[in-house]
Amino acid sequence: MVRTRLTTGGFAEPVVADTAKSLAKQGHRVILLAWDRTGKCETTTTTEWGTIWRYQEECNLNKPITFARRLPGFLSWSTWQILAFQKIEKDMILHYHDLDTLIAGVFTSKLIKVPLVYDCHENYPGLIEGAISSNISKSLHKLEALLIQYCNGIIAPGPADYARIRNMLKEGTKASFAATKEEAFEVLNMPHNDFLNSKLTRGGNQKRLETYPLRRIEGRKRVGKFRLLYIGVLEKHPSRGLIETILTVNKMKGIQFDIGGFGTLVPTLKRLSQKMDNIQYIGSIHPDNIPLQTIECDAVLMALDPANINNRLSTPNKLFEAMSAGVPIITCNELLMGQFVEREEIGLTFEWGKWDRLKAILMKLMFDKELCKRLGKRGRKLAEKNHNWEHCEERIESMYRYVKNTSS
């Protein structure tokens, strides 16, 4: 596996770790070649699912030009590592994460004649559209449409990206830049079996429910202040409305806003938490500790600026963390996620930029404990029925079988 980023402490992100665990369970030896962009972690670490090998060069997550300049060094390093592993490994399958690694994946796959799996985590051109020019984003979209034709298997992260990649496989570079909300909802309603035994499958950010034990959820006791939680990337762009939420919550009584994660906003968040009694920066949270933090909160915040197309159509980690933990999620009604939340009645939504509406939602949840409980229970039941990692694991196993059968 090849990935250009790690999370706190140099560990794999939750969805990468879950995929690796599933592959190890199926009998694969998993090696993750990843870029330690702090440059401070150990070179190698053994995990429960395999080994992480780290390329150590400092590179800020929020500096796309610096990243683009240093990316070839990481990709060259990962290719040399794979060439070395090929001498001792049999039946190798390359598994490259996201578009920023894919060109090297196609090159290496063709060079050593082994199958390639593309694990797409988001609409990458759409994600970076606001950070770079529109023309570059469109060029990256066309590049992705060309490169996926050389992949033996593809994992799409959510319904919108499944529809987008399905269109690119059919139409190539003429495919639209993003799927429509109608196409995304069509995929969301597809039966599980439709994702099996195929080159393209749907993975995503669904959670392992054993890490969100029902006995812990049912036994929790709500005392003290209403606890609003956000754990994730802490960057200015694309905006997650964190500063605006802080300013909104600071004027309220009986509520605590806890923020965890890493990124360039951390110094600002630390200063604000020192000045404001009901705002707390809780530090970088290890992925293994996120379930407990989520179970112990009263609501999860996932506001996203809908001006960014990737934001509008994403189904991010926070959605499935909240569902698995049995707590309501608060998001924006312009988003695909927001419409899903409204339709399934698993949280509440507000219009982006209308922070007085966010305040009204928070007060509603604070003073209507039965509503809060009901929304959370619906989310958990939905996670148990359709949106859990067990479904993803079966799809990944089926797709890997397809790759082996069609590549031999």
Residue for token pair 């605590």: 256
Tens of pLDDT, residue by residue, the chain (408 residues): 999 999 878 999 989 999 999 999 999 999 999 999 999 999 999 999 999 999 999 998 778 889 999 999 999 999 999 999 998 888 899 999 999 999 999 999 999 999 999 999 988 888 777 667 788 889 999 999 999 999 999 999 999 999 999 999 999 999 999 999 899 999 988 999 999 999 999 998 899 999 999 999 999 887 789 999 999 989 888 889 999 999 999 989 999 999 999 888 999 999 999 999 999 999 999 888 999 999 999 999 999 999 988 899 989 999 999 999 999 999 999 999 999 999 999 999 999 999 999 999 999 999 999 999 999 999 999 999 989 999 999 999 999 999 999 986
The secondary structure of 22-56 as a DSSP string is: HHHHTT--EEEEEEETTS-S-SEEE-SSEEEEEEE
> How far apart are the C-alpha atoms of 19 and 16, rounded to whole Å?
5
Length of the chain: 408
Q: Which residues contact 370 (CB under 8 A, 6 or more apart)?
A: none
Q: What does the CA dihedral 71, 75, 77, 83 come to, rounded to 10 degrees?
A: 180
> How far apart are the C-alpha atoms of 112 and 37, rounded to whole Å?
28
Phi, psi of 22 (to 5 degrees): -65, -40
Name the CATH superfamily for 210-385: Glycogen Phosphorylase B; (3.40.50.2000)
> How far apart are the C-alpha atoms of 245 and 362, rounded to whole Å?
11
Q: Which CATH number fits domain 2-206+388-407: 3.40.5.90, 3.40.50.2000, 3.40.1160.10, 2.40.110.10?
A: 3.40.50.2000
Domain with CATH 3.40.50.2000 in the chain: 2-206+388-407, 210-385
Token representation of residue 176:
């639209």
Cα angle 298, 311, 150; round to 5: 125
Three-class secondary structure of residue 90 per DSSP: coil
